[in-house]
Amino acid sequence: MNGAESIIQIRIFIQIFKTVHTHYSRIIAGTMTWGIWGKQLSSSQMENLMHHCINAGITTFDHADIYGGYTTEADFGNAFAQSGIDRDNIQLISKCGIQYEAETRQNRIKHYDYSSEYIIWSVETSLKNLQTEYLDLLLLHRPSPLMHPEEVSKAIDKLKSQGKIKDFGVSNFTPSQMTMISTKNDISANQIQFSLTDFDAMHNGTLDYMITNSILPMAWQPLGTIFREKNEQTDRIHIILNQLTQKYNATKDQLILAWILKHPANVHPVIGTATPERITNAAKAVEIELDLQDWFTLLVESQGHKVP
């Protein structure tokens, strides 16, 4: 193989990588607060919010079976059925595995269940509730000390062969846990906690592992604690953000998302807001290209010390 052929093959690989990893909108709408765990939106309000997201360029909706004590998926599904939205124009993500203490379950304690039977039952229940024939992505919600890759693969292989899930991934998994599960299952995504105030994934090998293995990172709670807590760390960050809002003509939340978007792992933030204005702001964050030194300035202020 000559040099030109090698370059062509590399370009083809990059294009395939980009195709796989651009299946989801760059900003993902998290639905945890849409139901009784948050805004308690009516069916018509959910329907309007779906259209608002799509009009803003956010076409991926992130669910978990446990949201709303196992009620939010059904509420969303009822709204989706009335929305007139083409299923092919959106992507639905859901998670399974957490057995939560709720009125609809006879659970004595919160625990995890990754038996193949439970995974299949959980997905089929999510499909019924969401009123869809397939999930674009299924995630194991949190790692369990009792999970086994072969048991998981029995379910994933069957669900994929039946067309009930397109892709499989994990959530909150460490590199070693991803390595174990991937011995029998192809992992396409890992949804992790990552933000300007929760950036351990940059230093503990998690994001490195995902880049190396072409696994798409999704970040939950991408605004971190910046607007939820007042302490020395968040005070330092706000001082810099106050300066940068003028430089970039952007809001603070947009700059925080832009900080995440600059990471080479191609992190997709999962925003938790159900407020239309904040959703619009978040969608526009993709247009901001943070200066390299501004990116490091925010990191340094969050850390409280300069980089090594």
Burial zone of 106 (CB within 10 Å; 0-12 exposed, 13-18 middle, 19+ buried): exposed
Told to judge if 209 belongs to the known catalytic residues of this protein, a careful annotator would answer no
The answer to whether 112 and 98 have CB atoms below 8 angstroms apart is: yes
**How many CB atoms are closer than 10 A to CB 259?**
26
How many whole angstroms separate alpha carbon 61 and alpha carbon 72?
12
| Pair of tokens at residue 109 | 């304690």
Residue 30 backbone dihedrals phi, psi, to 5 degrees = -85, 135
C-alpha triplet 278, 74, 61: angle, nearest 5° = 35
Q: How far is CA 50 from the centre of its chain?
A: 17
The answer to whether 120 and 158 have CB atoms below 8 angstroms apart is: yes
The answer to whether 57 and 280 have CB atoms below 8 angstroms apart is: no
| Pair of tokens at residue 212 | 């190396």
Q: How many angstroms separate the Cα of 87 from the Cα of each of 6, 82, 96, 129, 132?
A: 39, 12, 21, 15, 8
How many whole angstroms separate alpha carbon 181 and alpha carbon 158?
16
Q: Kindly name the residue from 67, 70, 114, 209 that is annotated as catalytic.
A: 67
Q: How far is CA 201 from the centre of its chain?
A: 14
* Active site amino acids: 67
